Amino acid sequence: MDKLIKLGMLFSLIAVLFAACEKDELDIDALTDFPPGIYSVSPADNGKITIGNFDVRVDFVDGQASPLSSATVIISDEFGNELGSATKALSGTRDSLIIPGSDFNAELLGAGNYTLDISVTDSKGQTAERTTVFEISLLAFAANNNEMYLAGGFNGWGADAFELVGDYTWELRDVDLLGDEWKIKNTPDWTDQDWGDSDCDGIMENTTGGGPNTACGYSGLSIVTFNDQTLEYSVRPAVEFATNLSGLYLMGDFNDFEGGEFGFSLVDDNTWTIAEVPMEPGHKFRFAEMPNFMGKNFSDTDGDGVAEEFGETNIVFPENAEPGYYSFTFNDATLEYSYEFVSGFSMIESIGIIGSATQGGWDSDTDMIDNGDGTYSVFIGLLDGEIKFRANDDWIDDWGDDDADGVAEYKGANIAVSFGVYRITFDLNTLNYTLEPMNIGIIGSATPGGWDSDTDMTPDAMNPNILTVNIDLIDGEVKFRANDDWIDDWGDDDADGVAEYKGANIAVSTGTYDVSFNINTLEYTIN
């Protein structure tokens, strides 16, 4: 009985397969009977070509059951004036129509937009139509964009302009990407399109609206090329030198052993250099091919100035070395390395406070006052958030606090703060810092408390730099004061609405006033 059942199932399967094959044969015509298609157009839709002679070409496709029959192409200017046209009998499943440039005086056409109206019919009367637009531009070569820019961490996300050097080919020479993330864009201010390569495969993806950046670790003086038709790009050394590495970075406890901040440049065969790295005694570091420690890395276990690939222990900067900026050289053939003192930290021109707790956020610093002895101070209103100290409005040198002990560390952790007004001091010599809470009030002969007691002001919830109070005043004088004490007070020497530290008393007359005082800019109003 089992054998009969299995035999019956076999015959059923054969019948199903036969029916399926028979149906396929019946459906062949249906499967190849579809309307004609417009396969490609030249000049391309939304493309750009240069002034000069050119042909118009359109390629068509169709199915075997309904082959191509005829097509018409009309070229017009942006005002609707017909410049030329052609109709051609077509055949088969693929054919094309070409209008030579001489038929519509292509070489005499000026810059501007032009239209192609395309229609095609097949043997069954099925049709397809399309209108495309292209531009004749004043560019030296054909391109899909009028301009192109490179932006990234290396230039503060600015706009370094490419040059159009061939059809659809843009080039930017002698740029050092510093291992940072970057993108290509077609306007200097991000108002149109931009491109990035998230998987580092050499082909950009359109990232307009916030797609990922290109983060492939490129560094050294390079030539960047980009094809705005195929979206292929390349980053190659500006000068070709022999090397065993794809790149080189200095990684250490000063940058948490990650990131492309300190990228070397290949300056000669197998010779890599970096001009300035801030170093302090005891810093640990090693050399790495990639900023994420993929690829090779090198250390010097025995401290003889010759590195070993994948060395066991980090190199330790000598305890007797002078803190400051050092240049480094590394030979990727001999693995010899060296460093040389460039200058002390006196190169620092300014110290500022930056962070989510400040009004500038992580985008801009609030500068501190240089007291002339290596210490810096500032009065500032802070929100709940975090801050760091930063030099020269740049992330090359910054300080945080890893253990919240009031002593900063180079590249240390963000410092948590709470809402309020503070006097902040920072000693660049010892790295000690203080955040002293401040209470700001108004005092004077015109106030209810006279010169004996302050009327407290309230920091604004959104910008605690600004303190306000509504107060009844009489004819007399006022000043602003901190912490109910004359250690810190502000007046106005020239009555210009900007206070000076220890400035003159401010004269007022009787009335009810809204008073505001910006502890950071020292601007005030008494309305």
Residue of 177, 157, 172 whose CA lies nearest to 260? 177
Residue whose entry in the numeric block shows the structure tokens 């059942």: 5
pLDDT reported for residue 294: 83
The whole-number pLDDT of residue 262 equals: 87
Look at residue 470 and give its three-state secondary structure. strand
pTM of the model: 0.41
Strands 476-482 and 37-42: unpaired
Helix, strand, coil fractions of the chain, as percent rounded to 5: 10, 45, 45
CA angle (313, 314, 319) in 5-degree steps: 120
- Hey, what long-range contacts does 303-312 have (CB within 8 A, 24 or more apart)? 305/336, 305/337, 305/338, 306/334, 306/335, 306/336, 306/337, 307/335, 307/336, 307/337, 308/335, 309/335, 311/286
pLDDT at residue number 399:
92
CA distance 489 to 505: 10
Q: Measured over all CA atoms, what is the biggest interatomic distance in the chain, rounded to whole angstroms?
A: 119
Torsion of CA 399, 364, 218, 313, to 10 degrees: 10
> Residue 346 in 3-state DSSP?
helix
Phi and psi, residue 239, nearest 5°: -125, 130
Q: Are 172 and 163 in contact (CB under 8 A)?
A: yes
Token code pair at residue 72: 């018409």
Q: Angle at CA 482, nearest 5°, toward 479 and 488?
A: 80
- Dihedral through CA 476, CA 479, CA 485, CA 486, nearest 10? -100
| Dihedral sign, Cα of residue 304, residue 308, residue 313, residue 319 | positive
Mean pLDDT for back-to-back runs of 10 residues, the chain (527 residues): 43 45 50 86 88 93 92 95 95 94 93 95 95 90 91 93 92 90 95 92 91 87 92 86 90 85 87 88 92 89 93 92 89 96 75 95 94 90 96 89 89 94 90 94 96 96 96 96 95 94 95 96 95
Question: Cα-flanking dihedrals φ and ψ of residue 103, to 5°?
Answer: -75, -20
> Hey, what domains does the chain have and what are their CATH numbers?
37-137 (2.60.40.2550), 149-237 (2.60.40.3620), 249-345 (2.60.40.3620), 349-425 (no CATH), 439-526 (2.60.40.3620)
Place of tokens 């750009």: 48
